[in-house]
Amino acid sequence: MNDKVKKDLIILLAVIIGASLCARYFAKGETLEEYAREKASDTSVAFVSQTQSDVPEDIQTNEAKEINKNSLDGENADHEISTKNDTDVTKNADSSSAEASLKKDASTDASVENMDAIEEPEKTGDNNMEQNLSDISRNFYYEPLSEDVILRITGISYVENPNVSLDDLRYLSLLYMDFNGETKKGEMICNKTIAQDLLEIFYELYNNGYQIESIKLIDEFGGDDTKSMLANNTSCFNYRVVEGSTKLSNHAYGLAVDINPFYNPYITYKDGITKITPVGSEAYADRTQDFPYKIDENDLAYKLFTAHGFKWGGNWNSVKDYQHFERSN
């Protein structure tokens, strides 16, 4: 081997060693096997991220919406639970904190009737049923007029007169289902001879979900029957004469009840002129039409009142008083 060949071989060896060192340097000291392994995992990572970005945008948005919705549902559910707990707390609390929560309810709701936290009857569970029945029973009662009630009605629905005394009257506390299906507490004053009947009738109406818009003393309307009718208020006692006459109404004795009067108007036919009261209830004077809160012979109020010996003004001929049930003594 001459020197020329030796020199070429040495240069070739140096180039090979140099090239391999360079390759090692650029491969960051990894072996080819390590590099291949890393490359393979890079590829899978790249594939995964490709899959994610391949998901259409609207689906991703929908998923996001679903999550948001679930979290909102969660919030609502929490709210419902806390509301229920609040109700239970109100129900089970001692009288002072119950009173506090009643005041709180009153401050957020203009309706005084909502001050009483009343549970609606539930159809499930004997214990619940018993509990609810006792709650309901506590809210259905009648009693002689208290000093407070006498003060409220004197000079309005009650005036001193030779026909009916305060001792003849009873104060009724009752529950009713309003037009929103909510339980409300009502008050009524009636003759003592029908107090037990009215209690039973209104108890049945409530338990059957019969809807009544309002049951307030007529004194809350200044004793004005027209205002009470316009407000569709159900009431009984009012010392007054029959409209357009000098004859005492059965309401003056506390022996007549008007139910949902706006939907069951009072119609007279004097001198060939038909008069419908209250004003605005004309559409409900046509009893051939079907509409809510209409009293007819299939109506539960009609059935209960007549079963308790009351007469219905809708059966009269000279006038029609569809809201009116009365019992003579």
Nearer to Zn ion, 197 or 258 (CB): 258
Q: How far is the CB of 169 from Zn ion (least distance, A)?
A: 17
List the beta strands (DSSP E) in the chain.
141-144, 169-177, 183-191, 256-258, 266-268, 275-277, 311-312, 319-321, 324-326
Q: How far is the CB of 247 from Zn ion (least distance, A)?
A: 13
Region of residue 271 (phi > 0: left; psi between -120 and 50: alpha; otherwise: beta): left
CA distances, 198 to each of 57, 101, 149, 282 (Å)? 66, 31, 19, 29
Nearer to Zn ion, 184 or 251 (CB): 251
Nearer to Zn ion, 90 or 265 (CB): 265
Q: How far is the CB of 236 from Zn ion (least distance, A)?
A: 9
Binding site for Zn ion (CB under 5 A): 256, 258, 324
Nearer to Zn ion, 184 or 324 (CB): 324
Residue nearest to Zn ion (CB): 324
CB within 8 Å of 215: residues ≥ 6 apart: 174, 176, 184, 186, 187, 188, 233, 234, 235
Q: How far is the CB of 324 from Zn ion (least distance, A)?
A: 4
Q: Collapsing DSSP states into helix, strand and coil, what is residue 279?
A: coil
Nearer to Zn ion, 220 or 321 (CB): 321
Q: How far is the CB of 245 from Zn ion (least distance, A)?
A: 13
Q: Collapsing DSSP states into helix, strand and coil, what is residue 170?
A: strand
Nearest CA-CA partner of 115 in 179, 172, 187? 187
